[in-house]
Amino acid sequence: MEKLSRFVPLLGQISTYDRAKFSSDLIAATVVTIMLIPQSLAYAMLAGLPAELGLYASIFPLLAYALFGSCKTLAVGPVAIASLMTASALGKVTALGIIGYVEGAMLLALLSGIFLLLLGVFRLGFISNFLSHPVVVGFITASGLVIALSQFKHILGIKAEGHNFVEIVYSTISNLTQFNTYTLIIGVCSVLFLFWARQGSAKLLERFGISKSLAFSLSKAAPVVGVAVTTLVVSQFGLDKQGVAIVGTIPTGMPSLVLPSFSWAAVEALFVPAVLISIIGYVESVSVGRTLSAKKRERIDGNQELIALGAANIASGMSGAFPVTGGFARSVVNYDAGAETQFAAIFTAVGISLAALFLTPLLHYLPIAMLAATIIVAVLSLVDFSIFKRAWDFSKSDFAAVSITVFLTLLMGVEIGVASGIIASILLLLHHTSKPHIAEVGLLPNSEHFRNILHFDVECHPSVLSLRVDESLLFSNVSYLEEYISDLITKRPDAKAVILDCAAINTIDLSAVEMLEALNHRLSHQNIALHLSEVKVPVQRLLKRSGLLEELTGEMHLSQYDAYQSLVKHYE
């Protein structure tokens, strides 16, 4: 049982589940359900899919995450960025006629789920380290802008197209004159209301004597108020006949579990987008999960999260829906509304099911402009321009990586944006790790300590070169070390021995060992012996295994001081 509950964390909750937790979870689930209904519809629209699929994506995936997830309060479902990436991927693939739009969305969720699941099972969560945090923030900011802008057409009631910022701006502006007055009024009012509601509604409720935390939760229901009011206005005044676009008939019912039909060509075409959506989704979800868990001094397990998000996406794909992940806003609401366990997510799934079964006929006259307003207000909170300033102040290379990501996301679309973000991150890492800190050191007079010859007045011997490397030796930095030593040797014609102080080398890889072998060999041609000092035990073990120690022209010394003293004596 204990073993099983490691894989299915929910099981660990059952024995201690009581009435108090039940009622807390139920309240949180009610608030999240109310918040999730308009969001689900809106994100389905953003993904270019029928509205009901948004609801479907908020039923079985929640159950799947509840079973396997290690964060008790994470709220999973459709989110803005993944929906935009879905639309972008499907736009290209369906244009080729390889697969239909809805089947494509299902397949994308399924592939993403399988990829996440495999990463989790093989404990490969570290590959999310591909992305540096500033690059992620830059990508999300740029995507948020693209998403917000893409919704302007719905606020204006015009037609506009485009896959990147420039195209959308151009298309929106050139069709601007065809705006629909009623749509514009509804859209602008909705945006203003939702913006006000984020801060103002809670304050208003507090003034009516409602407690601060309840007011916060209730304020999250503002979009539902907006939905109700705008739907009523449209249906009462027959505005749909005046050109106001409405959601229309949403089929009632529950999703049925099926496998999407697909061809291998479709799998090939959607594989890379699925991987990108997975990585971005995981990075975001895990950062939310970690923040919430830490508040309760609980821990989350990265690999378990991969499994749970994988299961959620597989469930989404099989429900006929599209990629999902842990959402920031709704998880915070879930937590603040008092959710105690993953049962809150199960209750939310029940709530959304009821909506799918009974509520959809009421949403017939819901204006698209209201959904667009929901999206705009939601994504603008993702936009964070301060990342530019922070990166600029911090380092020019971080700034370059962020700028490239933002620029390419805006100009070339999300896929190229995130792919170049990953490449920029890796280049940054290689750049950072490719120059290990190396110092030529000398003996501090009247001590056994060695210090950088550039900063201290130290004792050196012309025949003995002392070097200290301040990083682990890996293939990414060995060529720098190799070049550094080769250069130094050309400047020290009297050198007869090099001592490498290895105190800071925690690990070493095979490339580094082979470099040391080559270095040892080359130095021996120049009649220079290579000595090592202060080698840590695990590194010693690796060096022994590789056979380097047998070939070493010099020796391995316990301390740099011992090595220096004995060599100075030897060459005097």
Interface size with its own copies, residues (CB under 8 A): 70
Q: Tell me the C-alpha distance between 156 and 180, whole Å.
A: 6
For its own copies, the closer of residues 298 and 336 by Cβ is 298
Give me the least distance between CB of 377 and its own copies, in Å please. 25
Give me the least distance between CB of 80 and its own copies, in Å please. 21
End-to-end alpha-carbon separation of the chain, Å? 71
Kindly identify the residues of this chain, within the stretch 284-323, that bind its own copies according to CB under 8 A: 290-291, 293-295, 297-299, 302
The backbone torsions φ and ψ at residue 528, rounded to the nearest 5 degrees and listed phi first, read -115, 130
Query: Among 472, 540, 559, 565, which residue interacts with its own copies (rule: CB under 8 A)?
Result: 472
In three-state secondary structure terms, 192 is helix
Identify each DSSP E strand in 330-463 by its residue range: 438-443, 450-452
Q: Tell me the C-alpha distance between 532 and 552, whole Å.
A: 9
How is 248-298 classified by DSSP, letter by letter?
-----SPPP--PPP--HHHHHHHHHHHHHHHHHHHHHHHHHHHHHHHHTT-
Residues 6+ apart with CB under 8 A from 283: 128, 131, 136
- Taking contact as CB under 8 A, which single stretch among the options 44-52, 187-195, 252-260, 522-530 is the one that binds its own copies? 522-530
Residue listed under structure tokens 């293939």: 475
Residues 6+ apart with CB under 8 A from 18: none
Asked whether the beta carbons of 85 and 278 are under 8 A apart, the reply is: no
Confirm or reject binding of residue 515 to its own copies (CB under 8 A).
yes
Asked whether the beta carbons of 514 and 483 are under 8 A apart, the reply is: no
Calculated CA dihedral for residues 563, 566, 571, 572, nearest 10 degrees: 130
- Taking contact as CB under 8 A, which single stretch among the options 130-138, 181-189, 308-316, 562-570 is the one that binds its own copies? 130-138
Confirm or reject binding of residue 171 to its own copies (CB under 8 A).
no
Query: Among 17, 101, 271, 475, which residue interacts with its own copies (rule: CB under 8 A)?
Result: 475
Confirm or reject binding of residue 393 to its own copies (CB under 8 A).
yes
Q: Both tokens of residue 342?
A: 């993953």
Query: Among 74, 87, 105, 131, which residue interacts with its own copies (rule: CB under 8 A)?
Result: 131
Query: Among 20, 95, 493, 569, which residue interacts with its own copies (rule: CB under 8 A)?
Result: 493
Give me the least distance between CB of 119 and its own copies, in Å please. 12
Farthest CA pair distance, the chain = 103
Query: Among 476, 520, 533, 560, which residue interacts with its own copies (rule: CB under 8 A)?
Result: 476
For its own copies, the closer of residues 204 and 429 by Cβ is 429
Q: Identify how many contiguous H helices and E strands the chain contains and give both numbers.
A: 26, 8
Residue 444 DSSP label: P
Q: Tell me the C-alpha distance between 310 and 23, whole Å.
A: 29
Give me the least distance between CB of 545 and its own copies, in Å please. 5
Confirm or reject binding of residue 506 to its own copies (CB under 8 A).
yes
Confirm or reject binding of residue 522 to its own copies (CB under 8 A).
yes
The binding track of 410-439 with respect to its own copies, each residue x by CB under 8 A or -, is ---------------xxxxxxxxxxx-x--
Confirm or reject binding of residue 494 to its own copies (CB under 8 A).
no
Other beta carbons less than 10 A from residue 422's beta carbon: 19
For its own copies, the closer of residues 471 and 501 by Cβ is 471
Q: Tell me the C-alpha distance between 439 and 229, whole Å.
A: 70
The binding track of 176-215 with respect to its own copies, each residue x by CB under 8 A or -, is ----------------------------------------
Q: In degrees, to the nearest 5, what angle opens at C-alpha 178 toward C-alphas 176 and 181?
A: 100
For its own copies, the closer of residues 426 and 556 by Cβ is 426
- Taking contact as CB under 8 A, which single stretch among the options 125-133, 159-167, 194-202, 220-228 is the one that binds its own copies? 125-133
Identify each DSSP E strand in 32-131 by its residue range: 76-77
Query: Among 92, 163, 198, 390, which residue interacts with its own copies (rule: CB under 8 A)?
Result: 390
For its own copies, the closer of residues 211 and 526 by Cβ is 526
For its own copies, the closer of residues 211 and 506 by Cβ is 506
For its own copies, the closer of residues 167 and 482 by Cβ is 482
Confirm or reject binding of residue 474 to its own copies (CB under 8 A).
yes
Confirm or reject binding of residue 542 to its own copies (CB under 8 A).
yes
For its own copies, the closer of residues 161 and 551 by Cβ is 551
For its own copies, the closer of residues 254 and 427 by Cβ is 427
Q: Tell me the C-alpha distance between 526 and 541, whole Å.
A: 28
CA nearest to 431, candidates 393, 396, 392 = 396
CA nearest to 506, candidates 548, 473, 467 = 473
Query: Among 88, 132, 183, 331, which residue interacts with its own copies (rule: CB under 8 A)?
Result: 132
Residues 6+ apart with CB under 8 A from 495: 462, 463, 464, 465, 489, 528
Query: Among 479, 494, 551, 558, which residue interacts with its own copies (rule: CB under 8 A)?
Result: 479
Which residues of this protein are in contact with its own copies, per CB under 8 A?
126-134, 290-291, 293-295, 297-299, 302, 390-391, 393-395, 398, 425-435, 437, 470-472, 474-480, 482-483, 486-487, 489-490, 493, 504, 506-507, 509-511, 513-515, 518, 522-523, 525-526, 542, 545-546
